[in-house]
Amino acid sequence: MPGRHKNGFSLVEMLIALAVSAIIIAAAFGSYAMIARNFDFQKDMKYIAQSARAVVDMINSDIRLAGYTAVDNGAITDAVMLADSGTAACCDAISVIYDQTPTERRQVTYYTKQFTSDDTRFRLYKHICQITTPLTIAEIQAGQCPATATLLAENPIADYVEDLQFSGFKNGAVTSDGSVGYGNGNMRWITPSSITAVCEDSVVNVNGGDGALTASGDAAYAFDGNHLTTYACKRTNPQSDPSVTGYFSKSGWIRLSFSTPVRLTKIDARVVPEIDGGTGNGITMNGWRNNWQSFTEPYGKYRPGWAELGFMYGRGGQQCVNTCADSAVPNNSCSNRHWNGGQQCLLQSSTRYENISIWGTTSKDLRNETRGGIDKQAITQLDVFVNGSQVCRYVSGSCVDNGYDDPNGYFEIAEIKLYGEVYGEAQIPHEIETSILIRSPNEHGNVDRSVGSPLTLGNRTNTWSDKRLRDSFTTATVVRNLYYSSQ
């Protein structure tokens, strides 16, 4: 019975089936290829975004800690350091310093290194040193940690970094190089580069006092941070500057020089009536002025509890530069705040001064002064006149006169501290802006991708034309410890 079970395909059926199968396979293959391309694209885009997020989060967390000082540890002077790579080379670097524990001060540095022979492939490294003194970024990039420090870690934290830019901001503007100008410097305590005095009398036990004073006389003692060493000048010792007339004509005086221009905004000063013993209801202004009847002898008997200082600038050809423009000074007009109404620092012909009455420990905010205008001038020299120095006169154990001006006594100042804006050094930023450009490890597609318009991050402009993917990310963080301590 041949032909009874003819169940096979005819040639035409086979050809049609093959054609349909081929179409389906081709579609499936095309679909797979496209999905695979998309997967690779997504994988690399995800890689770029994840790397950027991880890096930025890590850097920001360290920036937030910058300047943190454990109790009793020395101040951190270089909490944030930036190294600019310029406009041509990759990439900037940043270094932050903070106390990880009371015994471990860390310097954390982020910088890039070229990887392999590909001069466009950079790896970002996190480098941690335990330090005693700050290292420069160049020192860290040149080698591990120098002998003065201990290397704790150095690890790559991102690859294919094409640009990394750090920009420092302060008061809403990019940090300056420290040129003289209101707001361009760093606010901090100021140490004079030289201290000379025309009247110094070394005496430990003034008028017979026998307290804990350890040294006296040298003017530098008033700026050494130790209140048990004092600057002293005998009242009968004539001052040697006949050009000074009037109130400060009988003063001893100190000339302070600064290595770079400074603008003073605050002066703290202190006398030490308590050193020889007795009590004065605390070392406060009111303690001397109003509560003197409750003093117990010998509080303020030998050492003055009140003194007056005059801070003069513009004397003897001293150079000073007006730092302010009216619009730059919040809530104040320069012209209203200068002695004689002038905005310029007049040399020789008209010295300016701020005078400060010291009662125990006194802090003077110069920004609220309307006379001297010292807080508007960048100066490199300042004369400090000491005038008026009063002790307490005791009768039968009771202070009967706290305005007693002993003609044989001494002017005596325990401490003078100057605070203000220092110029001539890179400004310490309060906010760090971080920008990063990362490329994909792999090429994608057959057509070069080029940036539409050059991408500028920080001070560097990026262009490219190849088959790799790229993306940039930018954020900013306030350096909390520096910002709040400056307010």
Partner 1 sequence: MCGGQNLDRKKLRVNELGLTLIESMVAAAVVGIGFVAAFNLSTVSTNILLSSIDREKGSMLTSMIMEDMLTDSSTINSCATTCPYHNMDFKTAGSGSTTPATKQTKWQGHANKLFGTPSVNDKRTIKVEQTSNTSSVFVITIEIDSRDGRAKNIFRRTLNAWAP
Applying CB under 8 A, which residues contact partner 1?
7, 13, 20, 24, 27-28, 31, 34-35, 38-39, 41-42, 45-46, 49, 52-53, 56, 171-173, 327, 430-431, 433, 455-456, 471-478, 483-484, 487
Measured CA to CA, the distance from residue 107 to residue 130 in angstroms comes to 6
Reduced to 3 states (helix: H, G, I; strand: E, B; else coil), residue 17 is helix
Closest to partner 1 by CB, 203 or 328: 328
Query: CA 184, CA 186: separation in Å to the nearest integer?
Result: 7
CB 111 to partner 1: min, Å: 21
CA distance 469 to 48: 9
State the nearest-atom distance from the C-beta of 476 to partner 1, in Å: 4
Minimum Å distance from CB 440 to partner 1?
Answer: 13
Return the residue matching tokens 């982020």: 110
Q: How far apart are CA 315 and CA 88, in angstroms?
A: 48
Answer yes or no: are the C-beta atoms of 375 and 367 closer than 8 Å: yes
Q: Which is nearer to partner 1, 349 or 487 (CB)?
A: 487
**Is 79 in contact with 165 (CB distance < 8 Å)?**
no
Closest CB to partner 1 among 14 and 153?
Answer: 14
**Shortest distance in whole angstroms from residue 430 CB to partner 1:** 6
Using CA atoms, how far apart are residues 55 and 48, in angstroms rounded to an integer? 11
Say which amino acid occupies 370: T
**ω before 199 within 30° of 0 (cis)?**
no
CB of 132 to partner 1, least distance (A): 31
**Least distance from C-beta 365 to partner 1, angstroms?**
14
* Token pair recorded at residue 167: 């920009």
The Cα–Cα gap between 424 and 178 comes to: 5
| Smaller CB separation from partner 1, 46 or 467 | 46
Q: CA angle, 27 as apex, 24 and 29 as ends, to 5°?
A: 110
CB of 328 to partner 1, least distance (A): 10
Closer Cβ to partner 1, 116 or 331, answer by number: 331
- In the complex, the smallest distance separating the C-beta of residue 79 from partner 1, rounded to whole angstroms, is 16
Does residue 466 sit in helix, strand or coil? strand
Rank residues 35 and 89 by Cβ distance to partner 1 and give the closer one: 35
Hey, CA dihedral for 208, 214, 215, 221, is it positive or negative?
negative
If you count DSSP H runs as helices and E runs as strands, how many of each does the chain have, helices first? 4, 25
Residue 184 or 380: the one with the smaller Cβ distance to partner 1 is 184
Burial 18-34 (b: 16+ CB within 10 A, else e): eeeeeeeeeeeeeeeee
Distance between CA 486 and CA 316 in Å, rounded?
33
Pairing of strands 415-422, 104-114: unpaired
Residue 199 beta carbon to partner 1: minimum distance, rounded to whole angstroms: 40
Shortest distance, position 361 Cβ to partner 1, whole Å? 23
Q: Buried b / exposed e across 121-152, counting CB within 10 Å, b at 16+?
A: bbbbbbbbbebeebbebebbbeeebeeebeee
**Complex with partner 1: residue 161 or 312, whichever CB lies closer:** 161
Provide the pairing of β-strand 229-234 with 215-217: parallel
Q: Which is nearer to partner 1, 421 or 431 (CB)?
A: 431
Rg (CA), the chain: 35
Taking the C-alpha atoms of residue 95 and residue 81, their distance in angstroms, rounded to an integer, is: 5
Identity of the residue, 215 or 455, whose beta carbon is nearer to partner 1 in the bound complex:
455
Between 213 and 482, name the residue whose CB sits nearer to partner 1: 482
CB 472, min distance to partner 1, A: 7
